[in-house]
A and B are shown apart, each in its own frame.
Chain A
Amino acid sequence: MVANIAPPKRIKKANWGLLVMMVPGFVALFAFSILPMFGIFIAFKNIDYEKGLLGSDWVGLDNFQFFVATPDAFVITFNTIAYNLVFLAVGTAAALAVALGLENLRAKKATRFYQAIMFLPYFLSWVVVSNLVFALLSVDQGVFNRQIVQPLGGEEIYWYNRPELWPYILTFANLWKYVGYTSVIYLAAMMSIDPGYIEAASLEGANRSQIVRRIILPLISNVIIILVLLQIGKIFFSDFGLFYNVTMNMGSLFPTTQTIDTYVYRTLMNMGDLGMSSAAGLYQSVVGFVIVVLANLVVKKIDPEKSLF
């Protein structure tokens, strides 16, 4: 591949600049992801502040037990994985569709405008979103019940008492927040395609759907696969803000909205136990790591050039 060809000196110099640009990212990675790895041992200890972190007693795998002791263990795991798979499928499809639409727009100013509008929700915190959702769906004061259902003479919908509706609401909220962000990445990848390919295809009489299926998608499949693989690595992690804040931490919604992260957070808040929450974090990371490696292996089998590593 490209790496095997020795680059001429001029490019090496250019690389030096790029390497400097990498430093802040690496420092952040080191500070927030590598340094904290020393804390893994906390998962195997019964933390007693009096004895200190290092001096606390070792308890083996005791801290991991609480996770399977709950009758909800299956539901929690299922929710986490199922939501992530749905988000992945729906999110990728929607982002691709948006990117293809924007790519096809002739007016560049309009493209930027639409991009900005769709990007905006990405900057809102889930706490803000949760209040927006509450303002819409609250039984007493919600816009939905007050302005739409009541004037039409219908019966109010108790959104926060109906767990079966929340998979749709949360999927929608997640889509609304992230679709702009992901579509920008896909759009950038599409922009880097040599316009010559598309022009040639048009001249040969290919229609839009043929161009998309035969030229654009295959050429950006690398980017799609990388993004999907990265997402799969987080399949055991749920977006805490979404599941905790947007549901207003409502007990009645637990059956369809409780995920590993919210369960762990509630446990830490209830029990104040560092060991138990570290254990859960470690478990999630290890499983996530294994899944990424497996997914990468599968990709490698199908097309070695497109694998992550």
Chain B
Amino acid sequence: MKRVKTLLSVLAFCMASAVTLMAAPYEVVWYVIGNGTPPDIAAVQDAANKYLAEKNMDATLKLVTFDWGTYDGKMQQIIASQQPFDISFTASWTNNFRLNAQRGAFLDITKLSREFAPKTMAALGDSFVSGSAIAGKNYAIPANKEKAHNWGFLIRKDLIDKYKLDISKIKKFEDIEPLLKVIKTNEPEVYPLESVVGENPARLLDPDLFADDNLGIGLMNTNKSGKVIFSPATPEAKALYTSMRKFYSAGYIRKDAAAVTDYNADEKAGKVFAAIKSLKPGKDAEVSLATGYPWVQIDITPVVMTNRETIGSLQAISRTSKNPQKALQVLELFNSDLYFNNLINWGVEGKHYVKSDKMDATGVAMIKAGPDKEKYNVGTPWMFGNTFINYLDVSENPKKAQMFLDYNAKALPLKSLGFDFDISKVKNEVTAIKNVWAEFMGGLETGSTDPATELPKALTKFQASGLDKVVAEAQKQYDAWCVANKVKY
């Protein structure tokens, strides 16, 4: 009898706790990429949860940040082990959006997003939303930001001023050489040119890639031809690797470049003079805020609108989410609510930032660093979502939003927008090619190995891995897509 009683009381306890669990707000877990976990994350989350409660959202938010180098690996493991979470940042360049969508790791939110995040979807516009679809279905919500890109230099302004350097003559990559030489002679602790694996001047080639960065298959970004290319095999690539080798040999690049993947540490430590970056209006001001050093930007490649933008920065809902509707509602609030958006982006007012008396073009006060800025300085508004409602820092251009619109208008939309390459038929070849890529391209792109001997070796090995078959399959799929979408060259 006693036993039955104990059993009953245990049962009653279980049921009671189950009821409280059901009544508790749903915790939305959101994985993002960044400089690691900010020290003041708890304060920001508390403020966010208080606001969510005020808004009767019946949800709490948990932000988990992994740093730039580990995010991809961590997310692969989380997804493969089917751990429950709600939202994750995804892109063509990390936490592979195409593969995860094709494999069903992300939820098809074509309908759900229009129902639970209508304002967000309307602000993005139909063409951009459909550009981010995989085989006609939406698996993620793109960030609302500039819709084009180009590549060019970011150069440290304080060093330019110190040595009275002339940057007006820099029109192409090689023009930077005399400046690098000055820095090399006078600033022994600074790397004149940033070049590490994954973040280096090879980005200037800017092919219109059909799949992952480390597959290199796509078109030239000029809209002149629909012929599929393999980027490292082009004469442009060879010329660039040769220039990189020259700079490396002259000592302008850190010697262990091919062993380094984290570029952030050097930038934040003030050890980089010039870097090739993906540009947009006001990029220099953004990076200046994030790194604490002043930068200026110089455009090198033309402005293009490609699949890189439509799937360059998105938030996907996980298949393992227990409440995708709630997750979408939180994203909707994030993308439409001035307070909530800026709380996540800039932190708590008065603590991490303070409002200034200067207004931006829309009449919203611009902000300055608060006393605790360094304790919550994520500096990645382009990653979180709608950048058009971000507060602007006083150092930024008050007309930033308008500059984005002008920039979009100036861009050349590539004809391949919306095409995605389904690699399932050539999976084995793609695996082999990516492995060869890892073996050779880090060295070639950073200038650490000599293209005169290593490039031919690499190309031979790419061939042996079945490159021709992959190119032919890509060409076949693209030609069929062109016919179906009436695209002509």
When C-beta atoms are compared, the residue in chain B nearest to A268 turns out to be B76
Given A266-B435, A272-B96, A272-B99, residue A160 in contact with residue B256 (CB < 8 A): yes
Query: Which residues of B have CB within 8 Å of A273?
Result: 103, 427
Q: In the complex the two chains form, is A251's CB within 8 Å of B441's CB?
A: yes
- B430 at the binding interface (Cβ < 8 Å): yes
- A263 at the binding interface (Cβ < 8 Å): yes
- B258 at the binding interface (Cβ < 8 Å): yes
Q: Name which of A67-75, A99-107, A226-234 contacts chain B.
A: A67-75
Q: In the complex the two chains form, is A66's CB within 8 Å of B100's CB?
A: no
Given A49-B105, A71-B461, residue A269 in contact with residue B435 (CB < 8 A): no
- B448 at the binding interface (Cβ < 8 Å): yes
- B371 at the binding interface (Cβ < 8 Å): no
Interface size of A by CB at 8 A reads 39
Q: In the complex the two chains form, is A140's CB within 8 Å of B254's CB?
A: yes
CA gap between A66 and B430 in the complex, in Å: 9
The residue that B76 contacts in the complex, of A69, A255, A269, with Cβ under 8 A, is A269
CA gap between A161 and B461 in the complex, in Å: 18
The residue that B432 contacts in the complex, of A71, A138, A160, with Cβ under 8 A, is A71
Q: In the complex the two chains form, is A266's CB within 8 Å of B432's CB?
A: no
- A88 at the binding interface (Cβ < 8 Å): no
- A134 at the binding interface (Cβ < 8 Å): yes
Interface string of A124-141 (1 = CB under 8 A from B): 000000000010001111
- A202 at the binding interface (Cβ < 8 Å): no
Interface size of B by CB at 8 A reads 41
When C-beta atoms are compared, the residue in chain B nearest to A139 turns out to be B255
Query: Which residues of A have CB within 8 Å of B427?
Result: 66, 271, 273, 276
- B438 at the binding interface (Cβ < 8 Å): yes
- A171 at the binding interface (Cβ < 8 Å): no
Query: Which residues of B have CB within 8 Å of A108?
Result: none
Q: In the complex the two chains form, is B438's CB within 8 Å of A50's CB?
A: no
Query: Which residues of A have CB within 8 Å of B254?
Result: 140
The residue that A140 contacts in the complex, of B99, B256, B428, with Cβ under 8 A, is B256
CA gap between A49 and B319 in the complex, in Å: 8
Q: In the complex the two chains form, is A271's CB within 8 Å of B430's CB?
A: yes
The residue that B431 contacts in the complex, of A69, A161, A250, A255, with Cβ under 8 A, is A69
Q: In the complex the two chains form, is A268's CB within 8 Å of B466's CB?
A: no
Query: Which residues of A have CB within 8 Å of B99?
Result: 271-272
Query: Which residues of A have CB within 8 Å of B105?
Result: 49, 272
Query: Which residues of A have CB within 8 Å of B37?
Result: none
Least Cβ–Cβ distance between B311 and chain A, in angstroms: 16
Given A49-B104, A50-B104, A252-B439, residue A270 in contact with residue B431 (CB < 8 A): yes
CA gap between A296 and B76 in the complex, in Å: 39
Interface string of A45-74 (1 = CB under 8 A from B): 001111100000000000001100111100
- B321 at the binding interface (Cβ < 8 Å): no
- A185 at the binding interface (Cβ < 8 Å): no
- A274 at the binding interface (Cβ < 8 Å): yes
Least Cβ–Cβ distance between A170 and chain B, in angstroms: 16
Query: Which residues of B have CB within 8 Å of A134?
Result: 259
Interface string of B313-324 (1 = CB under 8 A from A): 000000100000
CA gap between A66 and B424 in the complex, in Å: 12
- B72 at the binding interface (Cβ < 8 Å): yes
When C-beta atoms are compared, the residue in chain B nearest to A65 turns out to be B428
- B79 at the binding interface (Cβ < 8 Å): yes
- B73 at the binding interface (Cβ < 8 Å): yes
CA gap between A193 and B103 in the complex, in Å: 59
Q: In the complex the two chains form, is B442's CB within 8 Å of A66's CB?
A: no
When C-beta atoms are compared, the residue in chain A nearest to B462 turns out to be A71
List B residues 400-425 near A (Cβ within 8 Å): none
- A267 at the binding interface (Cβ < 8 Å): yes
Name, among B80, B96, B255, B434, the residue most crowded by chain A CB atoms within 10 Å (CB to CB). Answer: B255
CA gap between A271 and B72 in the complex, in Å: 12
Given A161-B443, A268-B76, residue A251 in contact with residue B104 (CB < 8 A): no
Q: In the complex the two chains form, is A50's CB within 8 Å of B440's CB?
A: no
Query: Which residues of A have CB within 8 Å of B464?
Result: 71
- A248 at the binding interface (Cβ < 8 Å): yes
List A residues 1-52 near B (Cβ within 8 Å): 47-51
When C-beta atoms are compared, the residue in chain A nearest to B460 turns out to be A71
When C-beta atoms are compared, the residue in chain A nearest to B431 turns out to be A66
Query: Which residues of B have CB within 8 Å of A65?
Result: 428
When C-beta atoms are compared, the residue in chain B nearest to A158 turns out to be B255
Given A66-B428, A269-B72, residue A71 in contact with residue B449 (CB < 8 A): no
Query: Which residues of B have CB within 8 Å of A249?
Result: 438
When C-beta atoms are compared, the residue in chain B nearest to A265 turns out to be B73
When C-beta atoms are compared, the residue in chain B nearest to A56 turns out to be B104
- A178 at the binding interface (Cβ < 8 Å): no
The residue that B104 contacts in the complex, of A48, A66, A141, A266, with Cβ under 8 A, is A48
The residue that B434 contacts in the complex, of A72, A248, A258, A270, with Cβ under 8 A, is A270
Query: Which residues of B have CB within 8 Å of A250?
Result: 258-259, 442
CA gap between A130 and B326 in the complex, in Å: 43
- B377 at the binding interface (Cβ < 8 Å): no
- B465 at the binding interface (Cβ < 8 Å): yes
Residues of B within 8 A of A (CB): 72-73, 76, 79-80, 82, 96, 99-100, 103-105, 212, 214, 254-256, 258-259, 319, 427-432, 434-436, 438-443, 448-449, 461, 464-466
15 contacts between A and B (CB under 8 A): A49-B82, A49-B319, A65-B428, A66-B427, A70-B465, A72-B432, A134-B259, A138-B259, A139-B256, A141-B256, A161-B448, A254-B438, A270-B435, A271-B430, A272-B96
Inter-chain pairs besides A69-B465, A156-B255, 15 sampled, C-beta below 8 Å = A69-B428, A69-B466, A140-B255, A160-B259, A250-B258, A250-B259, A251-B439, A251-B442, A252-B449, A254-B439, A266-B434, A269-B76, A272-B76, A272-B99, A274-B80
